[in-house]
Amino acid sequence: MSNTFGKAFTMTTFGESHGKALGCIVDGVPAGLEIDEDFIQSELNRRKPGKSKLETARKEDDKVEILSGTFEGLSTGTPIMMIIFNGNQKSRDYDNVKDLFRPGHADFTYFHKYGLRDYRGGGRSSARETAARVAAGAIAKLMLKTLEVEIVSGLCEVDGIKADTYDFEHAKTSLLYALDSKVEEAQKEAILAAKNKHDSVGGVVVTIATGTPKGLGEPLYYKLDAILAEAMMGINAAKAVEIGDGIASTSLKGSQNNDGITPNGFTSNHSGGMLGGISNGDDIVVKTHFKPTPSIFQEQDTVNTSNEAMKFELKGRHDPCVAIRGSVVTEAMMALVLADMTLLNMGKKMQHLKDIYKK
């Protein structure tokens, strides 16, 4: 089971939804990076559950502790280990799914792959694991900030209700990280209406990186766009990823889709900031599509571990729209990819090597 992401800047996560703790080990961080613990905690606070009626009622402080890899506020160049202790598990809510599979969840596939599973909240397959990704992503963001790279995100669609404008400053203050204040209320109502009917809705998140340099990406088999797509698809409930115009570009002519090049940059950004899998210096734009949360409180058909037909009703506390908190996770994953690609890009030119060895 692979639990590590990245090549030069790596993240390894551990822990389960209802275990004692979860966390991550971040390796490859250059020595001398200022580790702002308040910033790391603020990122976790953005993702943590129970902040409003639009999210799961599970309350977790998500207090992060750094166990290694720092000294006097700076990274030492050695692995940075962070841990987050769970505090509000209600494992008894899952007693009725001990011997059966929840539709739309990884219960069925984990059981058939490993022959057993942690049924408490999905165990390792739970979206709670993304807290560790956000902690690791915060370290990556701190590194990228020193290089003047910024990453923002927001919800551009909920239950088919689409944003007409993208206001990332507004998204920072919105309970659902909505990008368009004019449709925000309708999006909220859609989420709450589904929740009141014991159902859920899907959503789409836009994630943008600005200030990225030209040349990030490793052709042909570690392309920037391909790894970004992998990173986003690895988030729980993500079902599709678009780079730049994505699907819309398939209905355009080449004359419409090509981004003109001028001495001052590009005339448009249909490509999402990447050509041939390498960054072109323009904004990197990624859309991540999240399915409706499979944890719904309606009677459903399923089978048990003996393959016998059953009906059941779920218990527990779950997000009616997982895309909301997923927005924060997309930022973390983009930061991890860009940090990794930045380190991999070191030494790609002889001048890079000469600069390193200058006396």
Homologous superfamily of 4-356 in CATH?
Answer: Chorismate synthase AroC (3.60.150.10)
The answer to whether the annotation marks 133 as part of a ligand binding site is no
Percent of the chain with pLDDT over 90: 72
| Residue 237 assigned ligand-binding role | yes
120 annotated to a ligand binding site: no
47 marked as binding residue: yes
Q: Dihedral through CA 240, CA 245, CA 249, CA 251, nearest 10?
A: 80
pLDDT digits (tens, 9 = 90+) for 214-261: 999 998 999 999 999 999 999 999 999 999 999 999 999 999 999 999
| Residue 358 or residue 160, greater confidence | 160
Q: What percent of the chain has pLDDT over 70?
A: 97
User: Is residue 124 marked as binding?
Assistant: yes
The pLDDT mean for the chain works out to 92
Closest CA to 326 of 184, 121, 137: 137
Phi-psi region of 229 (alpha: psi -120 to 50; beta: other; left: phi over 0): alpha
Task: Identify whether the C-beta of residue 159 lies closer than 8 Å to the C-beta of residue 202.
Answer: yes
Q: What are phi and psi of 297, to 5 degrees?
A: -105, 55
Question: Is the four-CA dihedral 20, 21, 27, 33 of positive or negative sign?
Answer: negative
User: E strands, the chain, where?
Assistant: 4-5, 10-15, 21-27, 64-68, 70-71, 74-75, 80-85, 150-158, 161-162, 203-210, 238-243, 261-262, 265-266, 274-275, 278-279, 284-290, 300-303, 309-312
292 annotated to a ligand binding site: yes
Residue 125 known to bind ligand: yes
Q: Is the pLDDT of residue 22 over 60?
A: yes
Asked whether the beta carbons of 233 and 326 are under 8 A apart, the reply is no
Query: What confidence tens digit (pLDDT) does each residue in 274-329 have?
Result: 999 999 999 999 999 999 988 888 889 999 888 999 898 887 778 899 999 999 99
Domain residues of the chain, as ranges? 4-356
H-helix segments, the chain: 37-47, 107-114, 130-146, 168-173, 181-196, 224-233, 254-257, 323-344, 350-356
Residue 236 assigned ligand-binding role: yes
| Per-range mean pLDDT, top range of 87-101, 112-126, 287-301 | 287-301
Closest listed residue to residue 281, CA positions, set 213, 188, 335, 194:
213
Q: What is the pLDDT of residues 37-71, one digit of tens each?
A: 999 999 999 998 878 888 877 677 899 999 999 99
Three-point CA angle 154, 157, 161, nearest 5°: 140
User: Is the per-residue pLDDT at 91 higher than 60?
Assistant: no
**220 upstream amide cis, omega within 30 of 0:** yes
Alpha helix segments (H runs only) across 55-150: 107-114, 130-146
CA pair distance 121, 19, nearest whole angstrom: 10
The answer to whether the beta carbons of residues 147 and 335 sit under 8 Å apart is no
Query: Annotation-wise, does 293 bind a ligand?
Result: yes
Q: For residue 36, give Cα distances in angstroms to 33, 66, 226, 330.
A: 9, 11, 30, 21
Evaluate whether 44 touches 33 at the Cβ level (below 8 Å). no
CA dihedral 70, 74, 78, 82 (to 10 degrees): 40
pLDDT band at 92 (very low <50, low <70, confident <90, very high): low
Query: Does 89 have pLDDT greater than 60?
Result: no
294 is in an annotated binding site: yes
Q: Give residue 100's region: left, alpha or beta (phi > 0; psi -120 to 50).
A: beta
d(CA 179, CA 224): 25
Residue 306 assigned ligand-binding role: no
Residue 318 pLDDT: 80
- What is the pLDDT averaged over residues 144-151? 97
